[in-house]
Structure 1
Amino acid sequence: MRCRFAVIAAFAVAGLLGLPATAQAPSRFDSADEARAALDAARQQQRNARARSERLEREAASSRETSAKARADAAALAARVQQAEASIAAAEARLTLTDRERRLLDRRLSARRAPLVRLTGALQSMSRRPLALSALQSGSLRDLVYTRAVLDSTIPVIRNRTAALRGDLDRAKSLQAEARQAVADRRDSEAALIQRRKQLTALAESERLKARRAAGGADREAQRALVLAEQAIDLDQLIGRLEVAGSLRTRLAALPGPLPRPADPPMARVSSAPSPRPSATEPPTQYQLPVAGKIAAGFGEAAASGQRQAGIVLSARPRALIVAPGAGRIAFAGPYRGFGRIVIVEHANGWISLVTGLGTLDVDVGQNVGAGSPLGLAPAAPGEVTLELRQDGEPVNPLDHLR
């Protein structure tokens, strides 16, 4: 009975050594450590996006101002889109780790295949031979007793080895189940992403139309921004000229309106001019990265050209959603030579954000956006998105101001 038990276990192992993969994992990662780091980062991005969407949904529900509610709704939906994108990234990392572990297990089981098959054949031959015939074979009874003793001492070793192999096979089946679940999660996240992108596109287009109707001079401002882009030598000069225009616009908006004529001019007193308020220097209260992705280059690092990075560079997934890093006003939105489509956001207190590397744009010049409002999508091919934050024209590290 013990011999037949070993035979059955050995045959089970021999039949299940090569388990097929449920799905091929993406080859975006060079090592298991990189895949694990990507998985941890994607899960953190999921949690952050979920927290942002829940907070923005509460703000939208409690807001009484129509425009503020619309911006909060758009930012909340954008956060849900980024949550779905992070879910896809997490599923891909899980699938990569599962596939790597399964391949290692397959190689380990394949190394045990040859000796196990030979042992299975020998035990199978002995199990088919009746004990009575063994007594008739050539040799003494002592040889027969010796053979039985060897088998009695071998069977526990076989049982231990087959137990370890059964554990490996159980792990292989578990890996298959994990891979199937990762594929299902990725499929569900992709379906949710498609649905949320449709909703976001419709909402963003509605906000653009409202902004165009509300700002009669938006077209003229957009034309001036394009002219400045044509005349500017580089991005620094473009940002500087936009800062001058924005500063002038802010000062004009702060001027007091015409005073009503008093009913009795002789009795009217001349009021003293209001004392100017000191200029605030606080950065945006809520500031975030425009896209979920790995930081490819940090602030101040040397670029290929030898110049220092004035911002940070993020590796973006194809068609990833890009959002406004902070609340403000769109000062420029359009293509700029060598940088793809770019967006410049004017924040309060002399702060400006520059986002480059967009594939599509969902905002217009003059439009007010909230932190997390959609700006557009990354290109269809994997690329890089750059974020620069400037205070009065001077670049600062955006990572120091994340909220």
Structure 2
Amino acid sequence: MRGRLILICVATLGVATALALAMPDSRAAPSVALLEADDAEAALKRATRESQLAETRAARLSAEAEAATEAATRTASEAAALAARIQQSEADIEIARARLTIARQQRAAVTARLAAKRVPTARLAAALQTVARRPLALSALQPGSLKDVVHVRAVLDGAVPQIAARTAGLKAELDRGRALEAQAAAAVEQMRGSEAALRQRRAQLAALEQQQRIASRTARGAALREAERALALAEEARDLDGLVDKLGEVAALRQELAALPGPVLRPENLAAALPPEAAPAPSSAASSPPPRDFQLPVQGRTLAGFGSKRASGLAATGLTLAPAKDAQVVAPARGRVAFAGAYRGFGRIVIIEHDGGWTSLVTGLAMVEVAVGDSVIGGSPLGRATGGTEPVTIELRQDGKPVNPLQYLR
């Protein structure tokens, strides 16, 4: 009995000591901006899905770049693949931040439970230590009957299994806390690795974009004139809807001009020519397919969906997303940049014309990396998001009429 009591005493004393040492974190906590505890699980699922999608896009675009025979097509695919890798790194950082938040939250719960058991466990260890060191003969000489001593020993004999079980439970809690601390440390290391990859990929994209700008300087004359025309239309438009409508009129006119017949045929061939009224008209949006491989321009939590009520009481004509600061913004689909720059009340925006009367509008950019007249593919880098309190909005329009972008996501 005495030997068992000494062993239990030592075990309990060890647990009490470990409890005292386990209260503060043994590692210095890095200064990492954590997520809200209630949002961590949802953020982890969303970021994991976004990382997988970005990785798939990057692989597809890299394959397209390798298979491209034209330099311009290859460069565009390479830039889009790098942008997808950047978005993958951003999602991986969000994954690590969510895992760190969850681990810290669980670690705090374990610490709170251990704190509640710290004082009684320490008292129990001290009492057991005193009893274990006191000989039975000395206890018999103290005031009181030997019957009381026997009674105490009997109580202890029945309590020892309970003490052993609870000691094992406390040890399991301590092991759980150490495991959570290791998970948090792994999440921090993952975040640091993702941040390093993000910096490297951004540098690669900047170098590639610099090469593109140098290669396209000779063809910038017409683009500059078109950019000046777009700015003039922006000054004339009453609001953003008016700007999109005006740009749509210009795009429709450009398509009509492109669809005009070539040189007049010789008289002997006039019979084979179509009469003017039979000439094919530009395809209408009702019969034209939506942009292929449509994707959201930036990663982030959805703040407002299509059709939701805005503060003004009007229905939202697009999606509002909450990206991270400086998050990569990409083109939602293949098209031609119709407007790129600051617009009153909306910060920096990009408007892209797609085939068949489709138009996409992206707002909330801190920096724009495209110019009017540029041809883009789905995933081409457009710029960086402001982030913070400034959301990014994406609108998709069909002949000027807003439609729900989520219906056309790949």
Q: TM-score range by the shorter chain?
A: over 0.9
- C-alpha distance in structure 2 between counterparts of 1:308 and 1:211, whole Å: 41
Number of the residue aligned with 2:218: 213
- For residue 221 of structure 2, give the secondary structure of its aligned residue in structure 1: coil
**Whole-Å separation in 2 of the counterparts to 1:54 and 1:271:** 52
CA contact (8 A) 2:362 2:394 kept: yes
Q: What's the CA shift for 1:149?
A: 1.5
Aligned: 1:16 with 2:18: yes
Render the CA deviation track for 1:107-153: whole Å, top value 9, x for unaligned: 11111112111111111112222344334444444333322222111
- Tell me by how many angstroms 1:211 deviates: 4.0
Please state how far the C-alpha of 1:169 moved relative to its aligned partner.
0.3
- Structure 1 counterpart of 2:63, from 50, 58, 61: 58
* Structure 2 counterparts to residues 180-219 of structure 1, below 5 A: 180-219=185-224
Tell me the equivalent position of 1:31. Answer: 37
Match of 1:40 in 2: 45
Q: What is the CA–CA distance in structure 1 between the aligned matches of 2:332 and 2:213, rounded to whole Å? A: 18
Shift in Å, 1:84: 0.2
- What secondary structure does 2:272 align onto? coil
Asked if the contact 1:25/1:99 (under 8 Å) is kept, the reply is no
Flag the 1:208–1:330 CA change in 2: closer, same or farther, 3 A.
Answer: farther
Q: 1:26 to 1:304 in 2, by over 3 A?
A: farther
Kindly indicate whether residue 386 of structure 2 is the aligned counterpart of residue 386 of structure 1.
no
How many Å apart are 1:342 and its aligned residue? 0.2
- Cα 1:301–1:29 shift into 2, 3 Å: same
Cα RMSD for the two superposed structures: 2.0
* Paired letter, 2:181: Q
- Cα pair 1:327 1:369 within 8 Å, conserved: yes
Retained in 1: the 8 A contact 2:255–2:282?
Answer: no
1:296 is aligned to: 303
Distance of aligned partners of 1:226 and 1:384 in 2 relative to their CA distance in 1, 3 Å threshold: same
Select 2:376's aligned residue among 369, 373, 381: 369
Q: Which AA in structure 2 matches 1:161? A: R
Higher mean alpha-carbon deviation, 297-306 vs 339-348, is at 297-306
2:294 matched to which residue of 1? 287
After superposition, the Cα gap between the structure-2 partners of 1:309 and 1:209, relative to the gap in structure 1 and judged at 3 Å, is farther
Does the Cα contact within 8 Å between 2:360 and 2:396 map onto a contact in 1?
yes
CA distance in 2, matches of 1:363, 1:82: 18
1:349-364 equivalent positions in 2, closer than 5 A: 349-364=356-371
Residue type at the aligned position of 2:68: S
Change (3 A) 1:192 1:365: same
Q: Give per-residue Cα distances to partners, 1:197-223, cap 9 Å, x unaligned.
A: 111122223334434433530000000
| SS of structure 2 residue aligned to 1:87 | helix
Within 2, Cα distance between the matches of 1:278 and 1:304? 38
Instruction: Go from structure 1 to structure 2 and tell me whether the alpha carbon gap of 1:225 and 1:390 turns closer, same or farther (over 3 Å shift).
Output: same
Q: Find the aligned partners of 1:114 and 1:73 in 2 and give their Cα distance.
A: 62
Cα distance in 2 for residues equivalent to 1:236 and 1:278: 23
Distance 1:202 1:258, change over 3 A: farther
Distance 2:296 2:97 in 1: 22
Q: Distance in 2 between matches of 1:400 and 1:28?
A: 33
Q: Distance in 1 between matches of 2:133 and 2:156?
A: 15
Structure 2 residues without counterparts, runs of 5 or longer: none
Distance 1:26 1:306 in 2: 38
Q: TM-score, normalised by structure 2?
A: 0.91
Identity of aligned residues (%): 50
Alignment of 1:300-319 (within 5 A): 300-319=307-326
The CA distance in 2 between the partners of 1:311 and 1:245, in whole Å, is 23
1:337-360 CA deviation, whole Å, 9 max, x = no partner?
110000000001100000000000
1:175 paired residue number:
180
Match of 2:129 in 1: 124
Match of 2:138 in 1: 133
For 1:257 and 1:16, locate their aligned partners in 2 and report how far apart those are by CA, in whole Å.
88
**Equivalent of 2:231 in 219, 226, 234:** 226
How far residue 305 of structure 1 moved from its aligned partner, in angstroms, is 1.5
Segments of 5+ residues of structure 1 without an aligned counterpart are none
Distance 2:214 2:405 in 1: 31
Write the deviation string for residues 235-292 of structure 1: whole angstroms up to 9, x where unpaired.
1111111111111112222334447x9xxx79x5346335526615111111000000
Q: 2:350 aligns with which of 336, 343, 353?
A: 343
Comparing 38-47 and 244-253, the one that deviates more: 244-253
Distance 2:199 2:216 in 1: 26
The equivalent residue for 1:236 is 241
CA distance in structure 1 between the aligned counterparts of 2:322 and 2:306, rounded to whole angstroms:
14
How far residue 380 of structure 1 moved from its aligned partner, in angstroms, is 5.9
Compared CA separation, residues 68 and 21, structure 1 to 2 (3 A): farther
- Kindly state the Cα deviation for residue 46 of structure 1 after the two structures are TM-superposed: 0.7
Calculate the TM-score normalised by the size of structure 1: 0.93
- CA shift, 1:66, in A, is 1.9
